[in-house]
Amino acid sequence: MENFVHLPESDHVIIGGYGRVGKTIARMMQAHNIEYVVIENNREVVVAAHKRDANVMFGDCTKMHMLYRCHIDSAKLAVLTFHSLDVARDTVEHIRASGVDVPIIVRIREQGDFAELISVGANLVVPEMLEGSLIIGRYALNYFELEQEEIDQTVDLERETQLSRL
């Protein structure tokens, strides 16, 4: 199964999980010729990804040997897209405990998990529900022909307000 996988050696992105968010991140990296490798723990998902020429390998992202195999120590970025807070937290903790200083972005479903992931070493935590609501709010404000800068300020203020409550 790994015969299809290219393991970049440096300045690449390691993506944990190949669900909806992981696929989107991979496509965006690919669109800009940024090397990436995805670690996915569902064999069926990996096989399907290979049929679409996606650079996805089977493995467990919480295991440092797997991350080292993907050259976590020379990666430019790690993006974790798991559904499970526990898996995301464990992965961040293992990376930080190993001394690797790669920036880590984590997608979470609920805002309430934000502080915990920051405290264990994530650089950026993106609460999916909050960001989704901000995008919808932005589109709604666009219908009223407001200046883009004013809309941006409103969205930024709402994001700051929501995140400060955590």
Q: Report the pLDDT value the prediction gives residue 2, as an integer from 0 to 100.
A: 52
Within this chain, do residues 113 and 148 fall inside the same structural domain, yes or no? no
Predicted model pTM? 0.87
Tell me the pLDDT band of 54, cut-offs 50, 70 and 90. very high
Within this chain, do residues 107 and 157 fall inside the same structural domain, yes or no? no
Within this chain, do residues 81 and 156 fall inside the same structural domain, yes or no? no
How many domains would you assign to the chain?
Answer: 2
Rounded Cα gap, residues 7 and 12, in angstroms: 9
Give tens-digit pLDDT for 110-159: 767 778 899 999 999 998 888 999 999 999 999 998 999 999 999 999 99
Within this chain, do residues 93 and 156 fall inside the same structural domain, yes or no? no
Which is more confidently placed, 80 or 130?
A: 80
Domain with 147 in it: 132-164
Within this chain, do residues 20 and 49 fall inside the same structural domain, yes or no? yes
